[in-house]
Amino acid sequence: MTTNIEIVEVSARDGLQSEKEFVATADKLALITRAIDAGLRRIEVTSFVNPKRVPQMADAEELVRMLPAHDDVRYTGLVLNYRGFERARALELDEIGCAVVATEAFNKRNQGVEVAETIKQWNQMADDAHTANMQAHIIIGAAFGCPFEGEVSTDQVVNIAKQVAKAGPSEIGLADTIGVAVPKQITEVINAVKNEVPDIKLRCHLHNSRNTGFANAIAAIDAGVEVLDASIGGIGGCPFAPHATGNISTDDLVYMLDRSGIETGVDLNKIIETSLWLETVLNKSVPAQVAKSGIFPPINQELRRARNRIWIID
């Protein structure tokens, strides 16, 4: 098992994208600033998508222009087509992330085109991103199961990974978009992809919809993955996939890794503080468990008292 894991904080994009009530741009900026203050150094800040389909991301340009400058922080924006890439490039964003879904039905639902067309667009976006000195990575969505087609074969995922690898991504991500994977499956898919594209760093984007997300995170680490996505408070999900709730929470992931002797560079106390603050912004409780139960051994009981002032705990 590795002794260091990089966490990509996705709460500002994947975490908020399904919220029904629009979250103020100032609050999104505050969330990002708090994440940076907690030690997170790679943050997915928004997505450059049609605001009619994802209204929560309608302020993408405004938000990016407000981001604080940090030499050691990399900001990422999700793009699903060339138009989205052009918007990100115009803002001179540090990094773009593209997505292709492992199944035709979901890719058409998510991006409006067939998988082959998405890969074709990815190739062009990756080339142009490299020309613009932007990093470019790609995530394979629904790599462990699809809400429309059911089981996804490992061969299917490997085939897509081999195709997108030709454009030289900084990473290939494997996403359990609807939270159906189990550790054995995580291990098998990661090993199969590694065997075919051994020179490209792998990343995992996991959901805890069925309470397997953290077991899957350990399985991914055991299989050699060095980058994991997580969302402060455990908020988020895909608006185009039924019941796709529950990103693994940054809070609980950092707690688990800290107790396992794996370095993240993240201050867990500050993450919990942010989760408590996020509850006041969203006016609801967040899924993260450490924010409710506290750190063990107890470090800051004031956090527990602060939460009791905001929400009544059974």
Measuring CA to CA, how many Å separate 174 from each of 202, 224, 280, 294? 8, 13, 32, 30
Q: Max alpha carbon distance in the chain (Å)?
A: 55
- CATH number of domain containing 220: 3.20.20.70
Measuring CA to CA, how many Å separate 244 from each of 52, 54, 161, 239? 20, 15, 23, 8
**Percent of the chain, pLDDT > 90?**
88
**Is the pLDDT confidence value at 312 over 70?**
no
**Is the pLDDT confidence value at 193 over 90?**
yes
**Is the pLDDT confidence value at 303 over 60?**
no
- Predicted confidence at residue 2, as pLDDT, reads 72
Tokens in use for 251? 């809070």
- Predicted confidence at residue 244, as pLDDT, reads 58
- Determine contact, residues 159/192, Cβ cutoff 8 Å: no
238 is catalytic: yes
Decide if 293 is inside a domain.
Answer: no
**Is the pLDDT confidence value at 226 over 70?**
yes
For residues 296 and 301, what is the distance between their CA atoms, to the nearest angstrom?
Answer: 11
**What would the pLDDT profile of 91-147 be if each residue is shown by its tens digit?**
999 999 999 999 999 999 999 999 999 999 999 999 999 999 999 999 999 999 999
**What would the pLDDT profile of 159-182 be if each residue is shown by its tens digit?**
999 999 999 999 999 999 999 999
Q: Which of 98, 146, 204, 238 is catalytic?
A: 238
Decide if 1 is inside a domain.
Answer: no
Decide if 295 is inside a domain.
Answer: no
What's the whole-number average pLDDT of the chain? 93
- Predicted confidence at residue 246, as pLDDT, reads 81
- Predicted confidence at residue 241, as pLDDT, reads 62
pTM for the model? 0.93
Read off the pLDDT band of 313 (50, 70, 90). very low
Decide if 306 is inside a domain.
Answer: no
Decide if 36 is inside a domain.
Answer: yes
Decide if 299 is inside a domain.
Answer: no
Decide if 314 is inside a domain.
Answer: no
pLDDT top residue among 303 and 188: 188
Domain that holds residue 108: 6-268
Instruction: Please tell me the least confidently modeled range out of 100-109, 252-261, 292-301.
Output: 292-301
Read off the pLDDT band of 148 (50, 70, 90). very high
Domain count, the chain: 1
